[in-house]
Structure 1
Amino acid sequence: MSAATLLKEFRHYKTALLTTYHRDGTTAVDTPVSIVLDGDSLLFRAGRESGTAARVAAHPLVDLRTCTFRGEPTGKPLRGEVRLLEGEKAVRAARMLERRHPMLRRWAMPLSDRLLRYRPLHYELRIVGDDEVESSEGWPD
């Protein structure tokens, strides 16, 4: 199955549950993130000093599933690889997220970013393989 087909269910969701892993690859941490689809990849952002950014830098393989706004999972997880976007690609990702989430990205996030001195990083997630993840609690056996 193609990556675009696997990501198709995310088209109707504005939030996804991103499962990142500590350096050892077994300790999972779930984080709801605002998303936007970009062809066969998915874009999201995280703070430069956030735990999500640190875990992704150390271990770029993650799991992703659809979820509610509060982060309650609603779908089956998919395995993906995350890479940091820089330059024009990061600017494009920021614009796409702003269009998809106008209230959150134009008003709430810029205000909190300034108050907390929060600097965002933008990421691209690409699906790895075409199988669903067998376990979201660390690597499948």
Structure 2
Amino acid sequence: MSFLDEIKSQKYISLESYRKNSEPARTPVWFVVEGDSIVIVTREQTGKVKRIRNNQQVKIATCTMKGKVTGEWYPGVANIMGDEQTARAVKQRDKKYGFFATVAKLATRNKGKFVAFGIKIS
């Protein structure tokens, strides 16, 4: 069983992205699996987006809602997706997380438009 097959049933992954000074920043995030990519939806004014625009190298691992890592770390490369792909990813995320995704949309609407990025495990 591949890592992507393993994590489909999980709710959270820990995303490790890197600041300009190369210091890691870990964030528990929701995700969906699309093809051979792990897709994360967030808002454009978040630290995750800023860090990934500066450095596409990331690591991911399964984790709890509070960010406690529960699995192995996997290195990957993140690429920001276009508007059409982002709209599709938002729908997939909403389907997976339901009511909680709606609440998150309302709570984060002041952080700009949606941005999705796909992570390919290397």
Judge same fold: TM > 0.5, yes or no.
yes
Q: Does residue 83 of structure 1 match 2:79?
A: yes
In 2, are the aligned partners of 1:113 and 1:119 still within 8 Å (CA)?
no
Residue 92 of structure 1 corresponds to which residue in structure 2? 88
Cα distance, 1:8 vs. partner? 2.1
SS at match of 1:12: coil
Q: Does residue 9 of structure 1 match 2:6?
A: yes
Q: Gaps spanning 5+ residues in structure 2: where?
A: none
Q: Which amino acid aligns with 2:15?
A: L
Equivalence map 1:26-41=2 (5 Å): 27-41=23-37
RMSD: 1.5
Cα distance, 1:24 vs. partner? 3.8
Residue 105 of structure 2 corresponds to which residue in structure 1? 110
CA distance in 2, matches of 1:66, 1:43: 14
Max Rg structure: 1
Q: Which amino acid aligns with 2:119?
A: L
Residue 123 of structure 1 corresponds to which residue in structure 2? 117
Residue 65 of structure 1 corresponds to which residue in structure 2? 61
Residue 52 of structure 1 corresponds to which residue in structure 2? 48
SS at match of 2:119: strand
Residue 132 of structure 1 corresponds to which residue in structure 2? none
Q: Which amino acid aligns with 2:49?
A: A
Q: TM-score, normalised by structure 2?
A: 0.91
Q: TM-score, normalised by structure 1?
A: 0.80
